[in-house]
Structure 1
């Protein structure tokens, strides 16, 4: 009975309304309401409140919801581990990549991994480093190929792959475009386009300015993709940063200049970040392939 009640609670938390949840579960709304009330009595706390917008979780409800999701992911991982041990090469690999590491990761893994494991499935998630750390914590991805955070969660481990230097990105008509030697003081005097506040490159940029006793320049446009940042730079007089390892021929608008000059301490170490503990066989093989590809990339 408790199993059904928890299933009803998770479904209600996902849909947000009693009507749609009851329809999805194939039960009546009164039966759903009684199940929620029964769970609240067992827990000893109010979990759901009705609002004009539907059903909302209380603080206790959110805590229980997150805990149940974690348990569900642990069960899924346990089942996957059993399948891995019994089935050999089959499995599902969920990989997180940043816009800057997508090209490296795809070229390294494909077609080698799919040729070796034809029964396996690969699922790629693209986000900036902060989003990938959250995805790892939620177990939405098993491996993340991204800049290694300075302060890594104790539940995560990282292996370095390669260094990815940053370069300055600006439109050809920007006031700094004709300047031969661009210093960090010059960069502090202009407005920027950048990733969101707590993303890795943005944080590194702000630390570089503060290390020189400078106030970080204003970021007037934020964007979550590399394509968006390059387009913004091409249509404005905003500065931005780009990791040269992510630049593909023909991907940068013709009026955008990439300058090798960058503030100190902005080079990034890209690596594989994963949860400590069990790693599926297919994830372990992907880890080996990526490591081999990184060695080749570092060779002159």
Structure 2
């Protein structure tokens, strides 16, 4: 069989995204390059591996089996490259990392500076995405590690190392109608729109489950946002929307502008975890990063 690791990477990107345009953006190549890679793989196997439609592409039953094997191949190749990097120079090498948080208080940013100073030959490739997308990239070997939030009862297909706890807290602007109630209830909150992640996001699904347990309809998302940010807070300050903000970012929400809602059901337990591929070897670089993250979390207790 004559397949390149690049063809495998492109094939898996298309399978993961379901859209040529999205996969091309992720890989930084043209749609034509992806199409040719798909054709080479299908020609090599002599099977139709994708179903194509106006809505995108999806794997056939044969494609699903091939993709499973390709993920293993890509992950094994990634381990081999990682090992070679480490053998060439223990102070050098490449770390491919994923994060969901791009704010100034990001835990990963706080430890990367000292780590780069300790290992001047280190190179880092950073990817920002949703938790589920980063978990999939760790699983298939595209990323070495990802630092993501993890919610109770919502699985992530990767091995976890708990770094910290960072619950989500319900937040509104000062003067919001809900703040005039002595004891606002969940049904009171349900009358207002939300600034929240998309329907497939863990945050949305968690709030939806909280509403459902109280017999309430799904939350109405007025402003859909992928991550927490200072821009979100600017919008929140000018509206009657409700949002969830990680406890670690509460310093961005001063008390003169924002108020936490005392609604216990909307205090969402959440851990911050470091994802790695199950069964994969931890390089010295990965172990150093994990140690720095755990030390920082312990110092903050």
TM (norm. structure 2) is 0.74
Aligned to 2:228: 226
Aligned to 1:17: 32
CA distance in 2, matches of 1:252, 1:110: 26
| Equivalent of 1:266 in 258, 268, 272 | 268
- State whether structure 2 residue 85 is matched by structure 1 residue 83: yes
Taking only aligned residues, the RMSD between alpha carbons, in angstroms, comes to 3.9
CA apart distance, 1:104: 3.9
Equivalent residues in 2 for 1:4-153, closer than 5 Å: 15-17=30-32, 36=40, 40=43, 43-46=45-48, 59=60, 64=66, 67-68=69-70, 71-99=73-101, 103-106=105-108, 108-151=110-153
Larger Rg: 1
Instruction: Tell me the secondary structure at the aligned position of residue 148 of structure 1.
Output: strand
CA apart distance, 1:213: 3.5
Q: How many residues align?
A: 281
Instruction: Tell me the secondary structure at the aligned position of residue 268 of structure 2.
Output: coil
Instruction: Identify the range of structure 1 (93-102 vs 71-80) with the bigger mean alpha-carbon deviation.
Output: 93-102
Aligned to 2:18: none
- State whether structure 2 residue 176 is matched by structure 1 residue 174: yes
CA apart distance, 1:134: 2.4
CA distance in 2, matches of 1:10, 1:180: 56
Alpha carbons of structure 1 residues 256 and 79: separation in structure 2 relative to 1, 3 Å: same
TM (norm. structure 1) is 0.75
CA apart distance, 1:283: 0.8
Instruction: Identify the range of structure 1 (168-177 vs 270-279) with the bigger mean alpha-carbon deviation.
Output: 168-177
Aligned to 1:212: 214
